[in-house]
Amino acid sequence: MIKQEQSETQEETNNEADIKGPVAGLPNPASKYCVDQGGESIIVKDQNGNEIGKCKLKNGKEVDEWEYYRQNNKSEK
């Protein structure tokens, strides 16, 4: 009987983990790259209210973080 209770408890724990989704706290590689290059990672909203990651470069220009990352990060190629 104890073994069955442990199994049910483990199953409940697994189901709770599935509901919660992925663990937060891992840095966005594009955001990290932006900051590592001396930029500032910012979040802006488009006309539909969607959040978009931008990299504000030293010269003040704002570019899409992922485009900047893909075009300039040589370790990804």
Q: What is the pTM of this model?
A: 0.62
More confident residue, 14 or 29: 29
Tell me how far CA of residue 13 lies from CA of 7, 8, 68, in angstroms.
10, 9, 40
C-alpha 43/C-alpha 31 separation (Å) is 10
Q: Write out the two tokens for 51.
A: 């959040």
C-alpha 69/C-alpha 39 separation (Å) is 12
Q: Write out the two tokens for 5.
A: 């209770």
Q: Tens digit of pLDDT for each residue in 23-74?
A: 677 889 999 999 999 999 999 999 999 999 999 999 999 999 999 999 999 8
Length of the chain, please?
77
Q: Write out the two tokens for 43.
A: 């979040």
Q: Residue 77: pLDDT band by 50, 70, 90 thresholds?
A: low
